[in-house]
């Protein structure tokens, strides 16, 4: 069967981690594009609120309370999709959580729990999605990170889990392609995003954590996700900052290590005393259920790099057009400079 992804307005889209940050923005934007939605997270109250919001606005959404660390919960998400809509076309594995602190300080229990959500949640969702989509085709979109390629200090457990997600996703893609199963498998790799991410994380630091710049809006990630629901893409960096970290780590790993050591400890810490470390979403749902995290620095509302990577022909056309305008401007400028000299030569000849 040939891989063909349907227009979003005809799709049923499953989104895990749908009640906060990237998942919340993606759900609202997908609803605005007339996709039918299956929303999943651990918090039933937030899910009902979001589903009611979408349905009251004329959309179609159903919710399933699920902890992605539990395979049976994930199977219940798929069952909810089949019961309400008969099938689904795109599955987005978005649920995730982080831990701030040196690896030597993080308990093994917490480390394992993070992997249960970030890695095993993706495994459960991917295998359930493939089981359903192998006959009808569709898109599987896993949310990794720029840190899937390049680790940073202070969030070592998170980096390790996202490296694992990348390895799993890349291997699964090859296996499905080898079997000619019509499923597009995409890894989205966001840079730092202004979401409640740090508020949900467990914090071992003595101060409140923060995102290292550059920081992008969650809408930039949502647009990349929805683009990949309609267009097969292998992987997508969201934000040039994330791509830069990956490239630096690949071509100059030791220099990048040193730069990270000099900068990343300070850039991820504020001057505010740490709140109660038990206020986190590692083991149970935790607010705020919001799109943004209130980052105090500059937040980029778009990424020219990401747009160019997803639309290379348009980007190439714009570059050629820009080069053409620059050329004609240069010629015009040159003609203007030579005209007075020509007139002077004619008058003196």
Among 100, 158, 227, 295, the active-site one is 158
Residue 99: closest CA among 17, 194, 193, 203: 203
**What span, in angstroms and rounded, lies between the C-alpha atoms of 173 and 176?**
5
End-to-end CA distance of the chain: 79
Residues 6+ apart with CB under 8 A from 232: 3, 5, 139, 184, 186
Residue 48: closest CA among 78, 19, 79: 19
Length of the chain measured in residues: 349
Sign of the CA dihedral 97, 143, 68, 116?
negative
- Asked if 158 is an active-site residue, the reply is yes
Give, as one character, the DSSP assignment of residue 286.
-
What's the chain's Rg over C-alpha atoms? 24
Q: Six-digit token pair at 189?
A: 């790799």
Give the residue numbers annotated as catalytic, written as ranges.
Answer: 158
């Amino acid at each position: 069967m040939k891989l063909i992804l349907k227009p979003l307005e005809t799709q049923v889209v499953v989104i895990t981690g749908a009640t906060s940050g990237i998942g919340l923005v993606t759900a609202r934007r997908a609803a605005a594009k007339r996709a039918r939605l299956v929303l999943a997270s651990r918090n039933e109250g937030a899910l009902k609120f979001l589903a009611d919001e979408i349905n009251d606005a004329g959309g179609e959404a159903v919710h399933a309370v699920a902890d992605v660390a539990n395979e049976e919960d994930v199977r219940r998400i798929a069952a909810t999709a089949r019961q309400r809509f008969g099938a689904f076309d795109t599955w987005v594995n978005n649920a995730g959580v982080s831990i701030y602190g040196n690896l030597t300080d993080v308990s093994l229990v917490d480390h394992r729990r993070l992997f249960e959500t970030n890695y095993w949640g993706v495994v459960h969702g991917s295998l359930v999605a493939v089981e359903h989509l192998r006959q009808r085709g569709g898109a599987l979109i896993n949310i990794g990170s720029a840190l899937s390629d390049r680790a940073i200090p202070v969030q070592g457990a998170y980096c390790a889990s996202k490296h694992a997600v990348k390895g799993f996703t890349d291997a699964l893609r090859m296996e499905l392609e080898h079997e000619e199963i019509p499923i597009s498998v995409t890894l989205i790799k966001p840079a730092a995003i202004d979401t409640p991410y740090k508020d949900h994380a467990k914090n071992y630091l003595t101060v409140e954590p923060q995102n290292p710049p550059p920081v992008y809006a969650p809408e930039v990630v949502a647009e990349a996700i929805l683009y990949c629901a309609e267009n097969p893409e292998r992987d997508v960096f969201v934000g040039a900052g994330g791509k830069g970290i990956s490239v630096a780590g690949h071509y100059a790993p030791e220099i990048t290590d040193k730069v990270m050591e000099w900068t990343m400890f300070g850039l991820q810490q504020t001057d505010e005393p740490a709140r109660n470390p038990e206020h986190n979403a590692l083991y149970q749902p935790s607010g705020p259920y919001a799109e943004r995290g209130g980052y105090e620095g500059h937040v980029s509302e778009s990424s020219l790099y990401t747009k160019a990577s997803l639309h290379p022909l348009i980007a190439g056309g714009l570059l050629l057009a820009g080069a053409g305008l620059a050329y004609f401007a240069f010629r015009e400028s040159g003609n203007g400079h030579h005209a007075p000299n020509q007139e002077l030569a004619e008058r003196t000849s």
